[in-house]
């Protein structure tokens, strides 16, 4: 007598009987070229500085960033997303270090380009929070509010200096209205039509960014709720998506990844451009912390988290584990 009564043929477990069978019917696979490595580089240091809330991740010196880029390329990783951290005391209200052609991010882009050339897609964070003394992603008006349009002017300039340094892709992450359009125009104006834009389309105001704030030595007090999205919303992301595509986004991103897989799936269904997801600092820290306590199998948890993000619709994933995981997958 079958457990299925009149459907004796239906036994899904048949396709799970062996590793070979499971491999054959797997619907999702991770590949090194799915992965993008976010990396921090700090000005004026000669040794890397560990980030305590992200064990295994460091603020690189210029030298060790080059090495990390070469290792990522060697492991088959798709790209590197570089975040610059200016020297202590160099932050100001306008974030001028972000538009200085000799600022740390611009210098690091040149370094990485010299090291790996076109072997890796070189990407840069395009945002002011690493450079402002108040820690916001934009410049402030007289009332202390983030001034959207004044910020756009700063972003246009940032895009141009990053492109001049040789970046392949800029990643505007500040969630200002109109940022993609303004950046596209700024790039085209200086003949950088080939530099593409990975738009942070759906970026939520998330508690899981906590460890990142240490990574970039952020001085933010308060929050980013007037420009980043409310975790309660999903339709709003489709609106942001439509605007980013109209403004010329080449690729779009959902961030964070793990707690927003529904958003990722909806965005991926709605578009015909590549979709990225950013597995952020807090997602990294949670798995590392539980593993350190012996509460979870670290490597399996990492692979499962990444697989879930890919299954939900990501074509590429930004993850601090990119190089390590790429080596596992080879």
d(CA 128, CA 220): 12
d(CA 67, CA 75): 12
Of residues 184-243, those binding ligand PBG (CB under 6 A): 209, 212, 224
Residue number with the shortest CB distance to ligand PBG? 212
Cβ-based neighbour number of residue 235 at 10 Å? 8
Among 34, 111, 129, 247, binds ligand PBG (CB under 6 A): 129
Of residues 109-128, those binding ligand PBG (CB under 6 A): 125, 127
Per-residue DSSP letter, 138: S
What is the distance, to the nearest Å, from the Cα of residue 270 to the centroid of all Cα atoms in its chain? 20
Cβ nearer to ligand PBG, comparing 8 with 50: 50
Work out how close the CB of 177 gets to ligand PBG at its nearest, in angstroms, rounded to a whole number.
Answer: 16
Cβ nearer to ligand PBG, comparing 129 with 240: 129
d(CA 170, CA 127): 10
Work out how close the CB of 127 gets to ligand PBG at its nearest, in angstroms, rounded to a whole number.
Answer: 3
Work out how close the CB of 8 gets to ligand PBG at its nearest, in angstroms, rounded to a whole number.
Answer: 51
| Annotation marks residue 255 as catalytic | yes
Q: Which of 42, 255, 266, 310 is catalytic?
A: 255
Work out how close the CB of 24 gets to ligand PBG at its nearest, in angstroms, rounded to a whole number.
Answer: 35
161 binds ligand PBG, rule: CB under 6 A = no
Q: What are phi and psi of 138, to 5 degrees?
A: -145, -175
Cβ nearer to ligand PBG, comparing 110 with 208: 208
Please name which of 300, 318, 296 lies closest in space to residue 309, comparing C-alpha atoms.
318
Q: Where are the beta strands (DSSP E) in 131-195?
A: 169-172
Contact 307, 329 (CB under 8 A): no
Contact 313, 269 (CB under 8 A): yes
Of residues 255-284, those binding ligand PBG (CB under 6 A): 280-281
Name the CA radius of gyration of the chain, rounded: 21
| Annotation marks residue 203 as catalytic | yes
Task: Count the site residues for ligand PBG by CB under 6 A.
Answer: 10
Please name which of 293, 299, 240 lies closest in space to residue 267, comparing C-alpha atoms.
240
Among 173, 237, 276, 323, binds ligand PBG (CB under 6 A): 173
Q: Which of 91, 203, 266, 310 is catalytic?
A: 203
Work out how close the CB of 4 gets to ligand PBG at its nearest, in angstroms, rounded to a whole number.
Answer: 47
The distance in angstroms from the start CA to the end CA of the chain is 46
Using CB under 6 A, list all residues that contact ligand PBG.
Answer: 125, 127, 129, 137, 173, 209, 212, 224, 280-281
Active site residues: 203, 255
């Amino acid at each position: 007598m079958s457990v299925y009564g009149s459907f004796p043929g239906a036994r899904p477990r048949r396709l799970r009987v062996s590793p070979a069978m499971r491999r054959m019917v797997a619907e999702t696979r991770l590949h090194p070229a799915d992965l993008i490595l976010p990396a921090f580089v700090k000005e004026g240091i000669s040794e890397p500085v560990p980030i305590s809330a992200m064990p295994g991740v460091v603020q690189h010196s210029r030298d060790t960033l080059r090495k990390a880029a070469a290792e990522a390329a060697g492991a088959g990783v798709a790209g590197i997303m570089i975040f610059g951290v200016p020297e202590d005391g160099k932050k100001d209200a306008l974030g001028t270090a972000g538009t200085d052609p000799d600022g740390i991010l611009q210098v690091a882009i040149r370094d990485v380009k010299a090291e790996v050339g076109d072997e890796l897609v070189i990407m840069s964070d395009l945002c002011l929070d690493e450079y402002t003394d108040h820690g916001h992603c934009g410049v402030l008006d007289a009332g202390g509010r983030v001034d959207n349009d004044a910020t756009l002017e700063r972003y246009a300039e940032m895009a141009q200096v990053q492109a001049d340094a040789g970046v392949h892709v800029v990643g505007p992450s500040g969630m200002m209205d109109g940022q993609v359009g303004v950046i596209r125009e700024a790039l085209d104006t200086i003949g950088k039509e080939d530099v593409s834009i990975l738009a942070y389309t759906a970026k939520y105001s998330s508690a899981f960014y906590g460890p990142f704030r240490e990574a970039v030595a952020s001085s933010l007090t308060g929050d980013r709720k007037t420009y980043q999205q409310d975790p309660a919303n999903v339709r709003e992301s489709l609106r942001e998506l439509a605007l980013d595509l109209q403004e010329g986004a080449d690729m779009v991103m959902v961030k964070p990844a793990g707690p927003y897989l529904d958003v990722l799936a909806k965005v991926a269904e709605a578009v015909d451009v590549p979709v990225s997801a950013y597995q952020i600092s807090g997602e990294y820290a949670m798995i590392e912390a539980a593993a350190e306590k012996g509460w979870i199998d670290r490597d399996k948890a990492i692979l499962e988290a990444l697989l879930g993000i890919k299954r939900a619709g990501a074509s590429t994933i930004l993850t601090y584990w990119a190089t390590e995981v790429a080596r596992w997958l080879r």
